[in-house]
Amino acid sequence: IRERPNSAIYPSESFRQTLLGPRRGRPSLSLSKSVSTTNISGNFNDESPLGIRRILSQSTDSLNARNRTLSVESLIDEGPDVILNQLMSDFETDGKDFEADSWSLAVDNSYLQQHKMDVMKRQDVIYELIQTEIHHVRTLKIMADMFRKAMLDDLQVDPATVHKIFPCVDELSQIHERFLAQLLERRRESLAQDSNKNFVINRLGDILVNQFSGGSAELLKKVYSEFCSKHTKAVKEYKDLLSRDKRFQQFIRRMTRSPLLRRHGVPECILLVTQRITKYPVLIERILKNSKDSEGDWEDLTRALKLVKELISSINEEVHASEMNARLWDVYRRVDGRAKVQLPWESRSGVFGKDELLRRKLVHSGCLLWKTAAGRFKDVLVLLMTDVLIFLQEKDQKYTFPMLDKPAVISLQNLIVRDIANQEKGMFLISAAPPEMYEVHAASRDDRNNWMKVIQQTVSLCPSRQDFPLIETEIEASLRKLKDRILQHDRKITALLEEKVGLFADMMALASGSEEPSPPLAPPRTLFHSDSIEGSRGEKLMHEAIREVESLKEIFMGVGRDRDQNNGPDAESCPSPSASNGDAGSFNGSLELCRTESEVGQRDGNGNQLVQRIPQEEINQRLVNLYSLLHGLQAVVSQQDTLLELQLQEGPEKIGPRRPSPPSLVAEPAVTGRAPGEKPSATELALLQRQHGLLQEELGRCRQLSQERAQEAAALESRLRDSERERGRLERELDEARRELAVLRGSGGAGGAGGRGGRRGVEPRRRSLPAGDALYLSFTPPQ
């Protein structure tokens, strides 16, 4: 995606000089502005048969009604203006508020004089943003509801062909219509009092951040990547259809003559949509330049600018990858099936054939001159791929591997690139395996420098031969494809579970009446993706889920106790969680948790009914947390199963015989089958790192458990010492009581009665004393 120069996007500087001058409307929009600004609208006013008010917001039902669709014959007979007038009659929009060229010309002159120059410039750019967004939405509507609809219903064009010409138009329309609605709503909120055209938008960054972040940014990236990558194919398909279908030629000729399109056809519309995403950074930069006094909006605008640049960079990468993939398939189809290269220097010697191309990604390609040992130059097509550099030679419109003095396949492992002294177009490729030096020449110095830069970057990212072998057997290729499919299904499961948790949170929010859904217990990335560094472990998720269940139990049990205490034994408004016959009550998909929002019977001293509500919000939050944790645990279990299966399927020489028991946390040399001096592979290192993390967690839990046991032992020892002191004191009191009893027995009858009373006083205390042996037996020393 290439950005257009500023001169093609914005009006000239002379336009700024008319801010405070005479105010009069211009008959037509200047072509020096952006195509998106001028667009394909022409000059619309209330007198024209197709006012701009009726362009954008068309009823979907009326668009889909077949009785409003006219045939090609009527198009040819009645003319495009009448047909377009009927076709666009249902469009309604606020576009009449943006007929002027700028905000300075749209507001009243007295209102304009009240603001400073920087405010005027800022509002002019914001006005241009909204105006060009209106034109962009109208362009998408014309593509979808005029061209595509007529091609499907009237011309009976193959739907597959129509989809190739207009890919992702519906998705783009939905995205930009929502964005435009937010911009128009902000303008309506910013209108001056008692005015319908004077406005100053003081805050815009929040809308831009929302548009270019989160799920909206992901959708923009997906849709624009697909649309821009199919741009060339769409134009080619359109030209092919135009060259072979005369009815389509007549239709296009009539449409392009209309004042609505102003001689802009389907290719121009496709180009406008492709370039739209590149206009946002320039517009936001201009808004930011004139927003230095808006401290609240400055941060959001800065963030929005960064987000949209990252989005465009991601789209460019996706488009480049798509172009390289299409280029690779074109080359693959032209490679001779019998073309092969022998690679005897590899540890796994074999034949490098045509099918090896599709295992790799194409990074860069182009034509170079290969200088042979005899001093001759051979024209070759060079393919820079993930881990190799391939030379192909064209012969009889087929590509083959050149049979020269050196192999036509160069491994990028330890490849060195050097320029040739006194030759601005040449460079050396010094290979380590096999030890060879290749001399190649580019068409220009810039081309040579670009090749050197791209090759060096690819060499730095080249995978190891253990992870990515140079040649792959048929069985290994089948296993790799199966592994890729398994991992792909894991990602789909994770995405579906993540979406399901979000839907459940929205459902709970609607049921509880809250405006915003309850936040999950952990961010979605850390909850569902265990391959990240901060990813949650399955055991941790399980413990957190159990904790949420315990919290729910406490809430329900506490509510039940309160209800029983308040209502008494006669309260039977809600059945107990478990019936007498053991059948448990079910929710039946309902959120009515035993009258959680109903009144619980409680009366004051005067007999008035009091209202006591169960904490429904807390229950909903606990349910959302529990739902998220359980589905996160399910995703982690799926990924862990895949990881273990892939490790076990690496081969009997590495893993040994498969056993039904789970693998131990520490991989022994006998199990891995690795020689003592051999270095572990990357997958084994990753598995060992994960096992090391698990052992560290287990060690932490053991330490915490030992500390808890030590604290319990200290508490028991303290209790034991207190019991010993209490026992000694009671024994001393008992001895004193016995001595007093003996004295009383020797004093006669009165003393005997007193002795019996004393015995009765001592016996209850004696029975309440704890037995010393029982204290010793109840004490458990720490392990």
Residue 75's pLDDT is 44
User: Which tens digits make up the pLDDT trace of 393-425?
Assistant: 998 889 999 988 888 898 888 899 999 988 889
For residues 641 and 693, membership in a common domain is answered with no
- Domain annotation covers residue 416: yes
For residues 299 and 400, membership in a common domain is answered with no
For residues 456 and 539, membership in a common domain is answered with no
Q: Which residues contact 296 (CB under 8 A, 6 or more apart)?
A: 203
Residue 319's pLDDT is 93
Residue 281's pLDDT is 95
CA 432 distance to own-chain centroid = 41
Distance CA 313, CA 1 (A): 9
Contact 36, 135 (CB under 8 A): yes
For residues 101 and 247, membership in a common domain is answered with yes
Distance CA 13, CA 8 (A): 13
pLDDT surpassing 50 at residue 766: no
For residues 633 and 744, membership in a common domain is answered with no
Of residues 311 and 606, the one with the higher pLDDT is 311
Token pair in block for residue 648? 């076990």
- Domain annotation covers residue 20: no
Q: Which residues contact 554 (CB under 8 A, 6 or more apart)?
A: none
Residue 414's pLDDT is 86
For residues 636 and 748, membership in a common domain is answered with no
- Domain annotation covers residue 202: yes
Coil/strand/helix, residue 590:
coil
Contact 187, 176 (CB under 8 A): no
Of residues 380 and 535, the one with the higher pLDDT is 380
Model confidence at 318, pLDDT cuts 50, 70, 90, reads: very high
Mean pLDDT confidence for 748-759: 50
Mean pLDDT confidence for 232-258: 89
- Domain annotation covers residue 783: no
- Domain annotation covers residue 194: yes
Give me the half-sphere count of Cα atoms (radius 13 Å) on the Cβ side of residue 629.
20
- Domain annotation covers residue 11: no
User: Which tens digits make up the pLDDT trace of 693-739?
Assistant: 777 877 888 888 888 888 888 888 888 888 889 999 999 999 999 99
Mean pLDDT confidence for 603-628: 59
- Top-ranked range on mean pLDDT: pick from 161-165, 528-532, 772-776: 161-165
Average pLDDT of the chain is: 72
Contact 127, 106 (CB under 8 A): yes
Model confidence at 543, pLDDT cuts 50, 70, 90, reads: low
Domain that holds residue 505: 473-567+613-646
pLDDT surpassing 60 at residue 671: no
Q: Which of 431, 451, 469 is the last residue of a domain?
A: 469
**Torsions phi, psi for 66 (to 5 deg):** -70, -20
Token pair in block for residue 406? 């050196």
For residues 365 and 255, membership in a common domain is answered with no
Mean pLDDT confidence for 154-173: 92
Domain total in the chain: 4
For residues 457 and 507, membership in a common domain is answered with no
For residues 154 and 122, membership in a common domain is answered with yes
Q: What are the counts of helices (DSSP H) followed by strands (DSSP E) for the chain?
A: 27, 10
For residues 288 and 143, membership in a common domain is answered with yes
Q: Which of 437, 453, 469 is the last residue of a domain?
A: 469
User: Which tens digits make up the pLDDT trace of 106-148?
Assistant: 888 889 888 889 889 999 999 999 999 998 998 898 888 888 8
Which range has the worst mean pLDDT, 176-190, 311-325, 448-462, 595-609? 595-609
Model confidence at 28, pLDDT cuts 50, 70, 90, reads: very low
CATH of the domain at 391: 2.30.29.30
For residues 274 and 392, membership in a common domain is answered with no
Mean pLDDT confidence for 749-771: 49
pLDDT surpassing 90 at residue 440: yes
Residue 344's pLDDT is 66
pLDDT surpassing 80 at residue 472: no
For residues 62 and 186, membership in a common domain is answered with yes
Residue 173's pLDDT is 93
Judged by phi (left if over 0) then psi (alpha if -120 to 50, else beta), residue 391 lies in beta
Contact 1, 87 (CB under 8 A): no
Residue 703's pLDDT is 82
**Each residue of 212-250: b (16+ CB within 10 Å) or e?**
bbeebbeebbebbbbbbbbbeebeebbeebbeebeebee
AA letter at 537: R
- Domain annotation covers residue 18: no
- Torsion on CA atoms 519, 525, 528, 533, rounded to nearest 10: -130
pLDDT surpassing 90 at residue 658: no
Which range has the worst mean pLDDT, 107-111, 667-671, 763-767? 667-671
Distance CA 759, CA 559 (A): 50
CATH of the domain at 250: 1.20.900.10
Q: Using only the alpha carbons of the chain, give its radius of gyration.
A: 40
pLDDT surpassing 80 at residue 297: yes
Of residues 672 and 730, the one with the higher pLDDT is 730
Q: Which of 448, 469, 490 is the last residue of a domain?
A: 469
Residue 702's pLDDT is 83
- Domain annotation covers residue 576: no
